[in-house]
């Protein structure tokens, strides 16, 4: 079935690296996404990776994709208190009249000063 | 500024009342979506629309209705038939349905009294 799994909580110290993990189900997913949600706000697109890539780097963010294991990770270098938020991964599911995004349950990242 | 707006930010409803949540975008996107977010869960798709005057049910459409009379607007009505309507509602849009990145509005928190 369609299921995207993430760990619920991650705590790191300011300045350390954070790694948020995600497993997805559809091997045909073309795009995989990371979104950030701050308290009481909507989802902000952080980055995405195309399925023919293994890695994508964007400033402090590094996305790694292991297609064999259907595993996606988001690494945040030099984590800051402003990075404290919920992070969602999402995969694209194809079929029927349209494609749709399936979201994980989100990982709450707590950055300790 | 281009973007997606949702109103109101907070909404309170008495049991048995219908309420309508507004979503407007000026990004010239064809596709629009409504999601529901509950604590500890990922986003679940309520309805989506690929073009004007067309919309389809998502995974949890029961108790909700939508319209798409204009490209810019995709209002969601939460009817009295929705048994557990208290949640955070997020609207999103993309240039094409499913195959492109979705951008989110700030959300509306609905509370049933």
Digit-coded pLDDT (tens) for A79-109: 999 999 999 999 887 765 566 788 999 999 9
DSSP output for B44-104: EEEEEESSTT--EE-TT-TTEEE--SBTTB--EEE-TT-S---EEEEEEEESSTTTS--EE
pLDDT band at B19 (very low <50, low <70, confident <90, very high): very high
The pLDDT > 90 percentage for chain B reads 75
Residues A80 and A110: beta-carbon distance below 8 Å: no
Contact A102, A93 (CB under 8 A): yes
Bridge-based pairing of strands B64-66 and B76-78 is antiparallel
- Token pair in block for residue A6: 């993430």
Q: Give me the pLDDT at residue A53, please.
A: 87
Per-residue confidence at B40, pLDDT binned at 50, 70, 90? Answer: confident
Closest chain A CA to residue B42: A105
What letter does residue B10 receive in the DSSP assignment?
A: E
Q: Do A98 and B43 touch (CB under 8 A)?
A: no
Residue reference for tokens 């989506």: B48
Please indicate if any CB of chain A lies within 8 Å of the CB of B97: yes
**Six token digits for residue B57:** 């049910």
Q: What is the CA radius of gyration of chain A?
A: 14
Contact B98 A99 (CB under 8 A): yes
Give the span between the Cα atoms of A109 and A46, in whole angstroms: 14
Which of A39-43, A59-63, B21-25, B69-73 has the weakest average pLDDT? A39-43
Please give the pLDDT value at position A97.
57
pLDDT at B98: 54
- pLDDT for the residue numbered A95: 61
Interface of B with A in 56-95 (CB under 8 A): 56, 58, 90, 92
- Report the chain A residue with the minimal C-alpha distance to residue B10: A40
Are the beta carbons of A100 and B107 separated by less than 8 Å? no
Q: Are A37 and A85 in contact (CB under 8 A)?
A: yes
- Give Cα A35 to chain centroid, integer Å: 6
List the beta bridge partners of residue B57. B47
Give A26 or B96, the one with higher predicted confidence: A26
Among A4, A56, A10, which Cα is nearest to B43's?
Answer: A4
> How many CB atoms neighbour CB B38 within 10 A?
12
What are A20-60's pLDDT values in tens digits?
999 998 777 778 999 999 998 999 999 999 888 899 999 99
Nearest chain B residue (CA) to A34: B101
Token duo for residue A52: 């023919």
């Amino acid at each position: 079935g369609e299921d995207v799994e993430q760990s619920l909580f991650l705590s790191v110290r300011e300045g350390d690296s954070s790694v948020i993990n995600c497993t997805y189900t559809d091997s045909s997913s073309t795009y995989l996404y990371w979104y950030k949600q701050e308290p009481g706000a909507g989802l902000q697109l952080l980055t995405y990776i195309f399925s023919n890539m293994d890695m994508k780097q964007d400033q402090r963010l590094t996305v790694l994709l292991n297609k064999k294991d259907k595993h996606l990770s988001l690494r945040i270098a030099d984590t800051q208190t402003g990075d404290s938020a919920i992070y969602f991964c999402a995969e694209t599911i194809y079929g029927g009249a349209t494609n749709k995004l399936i979201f994980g349950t989100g990982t709450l990242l707590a950055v300790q000063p | 500024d281009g973007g997606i707006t949702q109103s109101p930010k907070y909404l309170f409803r008495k049991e048995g009342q219908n309420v309508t949540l507004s979503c407007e975008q000026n990004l010239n996107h064809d596709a629009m979506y409504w999601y529901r977010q509950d604590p500890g869960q990922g986003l679940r798709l309520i309805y989506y629309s690929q073009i004007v005057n067309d919309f389809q049910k998502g995974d949890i459409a029961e108790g909700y209705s939508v319209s798409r009379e204009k490209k810019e607007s995709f209002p969601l009505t939460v009817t009295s038939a929705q048994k557990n309507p208290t949640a955070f509602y997020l609207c999103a849009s993309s240039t094409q349905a499913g195959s492109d990145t979705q951008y989110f509005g700030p959300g509306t928190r609905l509370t049933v009294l």
